[in-house]
Amino acid sequence: MKRFSQLAIPYIIWAALMLILPMLLIALYSITEHGNSIISFSITPEHYIKFFTDPDFLIILWRSIWIAIKTTVICLLLGYPIAYFIARSREKLQNLLVLAITIPMWINMLVRTYAWIGLLSEGGPIQQILAFFGLGEVELLYTEAAVLLGMVYNFLPFMILQINTSLCKMDNSLLEASADLGADPLHTFMRVTLPLSLPGVINGITLVFLPAVSSFFIPKLLGGGQYFLIGNLIENQFITAGEWNFGSAISMIMAIIMMLLMMTMRKVEIRNQGGKED
């Protein structure tokens, strides 16, 4: 046991340097204001007050949360049937379908998002298809729908894989027992399959919502700068405006929101399993 503890030391050092230290620096930046010299600074809540008292920032925050919710709901509605179909397929077909879902993830997300610019642009393949049905004048690129489409495309595999994992781990004898007791397929799904797959659903919701609410390059590319989300605001404060303190405050606000969400999802999962929180 002591040997295994010693093997964990490099990871603990790496986590402290790469994860904990940056978060502490961001937290420090968020509550400080630089003085006249480089080493002088003062503690102030001004950056948090600035964010919560400016209606424009609150609108951006709500817009980010709302599009993340829509992305998560769409991914769940699309991902569950796909995951269910994969889990009920033959083993060889399961492997092929999982491979088909994961292959696009081998390509950098930025490159995949760039590809949608060509697909959605004026005169692109999708607009040509719409024109064939008499809908060629519909504007696709640089809209909220384009941003939502990009997010669903990029984050849908996370939902599918998590739900599929839960469904594959399920004991099929429970389904047989349900059928032997006279339950039809719908009742079997609602009473057996769905409850047992909830851990995967919860993990999928977490893995989709968290990156969606803080995404910045998908709105930047597919929204054309016209659809501004909280991730774009943070990027703008650090890179363009040079307001590191205010950008750090926004980052801490988002970190707190994400931690609250993860705690909520954890409590829901524990309650679903009928256990008690440690």
pLDDT digits (tens, 9 = 90+) for 163-215: 999 998 888 788 778 877 788 888 888 888 888 899 899 999 999 999 999 89
pLDDT surpasses 50 at 36: no
Buried b (16+ CB within 10 A) or exposed e, 76-102: beebbebbbebbeeeeeebeebbeebe
The lowest-confidence range among 118-127, 133-142, 165-174 is 133-142
Residue 25, token pair as written in the block: 């620096």
Quick one: pLDDT at residue 278?
Answer: 47
| Maximal CA-CA distance, the chain | 78
For 241-276, the pLDDT digits (tens) are: 888 899 999 999 999 988 888 888 888 777 776 655
Stretch 142-169: mean pLDDT, rounded? 92
pLDDT tens track for 66-104:
999 999 999 999 999 999 999 988 888 999 999 999 998
Residue carrying structure tokens 């989300």: 229
Q: How many CB atoms lie within 10 A of CB 264?
A: 12
